[in-house]
A and B are shown apart, each in its own frame.
Chain A
Amino acid sequence: MARLNVSPTRMELNRLKKRLSVARNGHKLLKDKRDELMKQFMKLIRRNQELRREAEAQLESTQKDFLLAGALLSDESLNAALMRPSRTASAEVSFRNMTGVSVPEFDYKITSGTGDPLCYGFADTNASLDRAVARMDSILEPLLELARVEKAARLLSCEIEKTRRRVNALEYVMIPQLEETIKYIMMKMEENDRSTKIRLMKVKDMVLEKK
């Protein structure tokens, strides 16, 4: 490991020692953070897998219902029935802190119009369309739950990657580098000490010889 390019002085030594202790501290904290994030992530991802499997199956069969219901109707009447929904659905967003990552939560809400999703007359539509719309309405909430979990998992995975990189950089680059530089400075200073001592001894010998 390459050592840092610094001059071997006592001041530099003190500075490096301080940096090393900070780096060690930070490394420990980041490692703890990474472990905790990982724990949360594992929990989320399992739930995510479950939810997605369920939601996909539900959605696919609901869309099939729609297609079948639509097949019995003319294009115009289907358009007329569905293109002017009687309400707007929206999501109330709040943020939750998950080990330092701000994760959004979605609450399903109907902001305008009635709660009834059936927004068309009975004249040119059929009962299977009604059923399909009602079913669609019922799977909106699970879909939003899926969105919440999936987003949280994705955000956590980004954060975990970042934290892991930091931990590794500290562990394998910063800390060894600092340790090596400190060792180098200490050795250099000891060497200086020794050479001064020898010089003094020599001078003393020379002075004694002259007398």
Chain B
Amino acid sequence: MAYSIGVIGDRESVLSFKAVGLKVFECGTRAEALKALKAAAEDCAVIFVTEKVYDSISEEIRAYDDKPLPAVIPYPGTSGGTGLGMELLNKSVEKAVGSNILQN
């Protein structure tokens, strides 16, 4: 089945995705971000979220962690990367192994 690919973030960050035909949800505040996430989760298989927005709604995103769809993936927005993506990776290693074995 074909699903959309969603992008959530501030206006500047999502603009480039819009151009190549992804489904874009602009948001500025936390409430908007939550609404966007809810809307995106309905028909998107993959949702790219800027690290900044991801950080503000990480509680809500965690609910999708153990569901097969959608995959919520953080990406660095135009304001630059915060290293959140790698941090999340390390967290999931910690969760699985019990200690962080990835040396950075």
Contact = CB atoms under 8 A, between A and B. Distances in A.
A88 B4 contact: yes
Nearest to A111: B2
B85 to A, nearest CB: 5
Interface string B32-60: 00000000000001101000000000000
Nearest to B81: A56
Interface residues of B, number: 41
Contacts of B22: 89, 140
A89 B20 contact: yes
Interface string B47-76: 010000000000000000110110101011
Nearest to A88: B21
Interface in A131-152: 132-133, 136-137, 140, 143-144, 146-148, 150-151
Nearest to B67: A155
Contact of B71 (A56, A102, A147, A161): A147
A66 B3 CA distance: 26
Contact of B68 (A95, A132, A144): A95
Interface string B83-103: 001100100110111100010
Interface in B10-31: 12-13, 15-23
Contacts, number: 143
Contacts of A182: none
A109 interface: yes
A60 B78 CA distance: 7
Given A49-B86, A147-B71, A82 B45 contact: no
B8 interface: no
A105 B81 CA distance: 26
B79 to A, nearest CB: 10
Interface in A73-95: 78, 81-83, 85-93, 95
A136 B97 CA distance: 36
Contacts of B77: 63
A148 B77 CA distance: 20
Given A67-B78, A85-B18, A150-B73, A103 B68 contact: yes
29 contacts: A45-B92, A52-B86, A56-B76, A56-B81, A56-B85, A59-B75, A63-B77, A63-B78, A82-B15, A83-B18, A85-B18, A85-B21, A87-B21, A88-B21, A90-B4, A90-B5, A91-B3, A91-B46, A93-B45, A106-B46, A117-B21, A132-B16, A137-B20, A140-B20, A143-B75, A147-B71, A153-B92, A157-B95, A158-B95
A48 interface: yes
A93 B96 contact: no
A91 B18 contact: no
Given A45-B93, A49-B86, A49-B89, A91 B21 contact: no
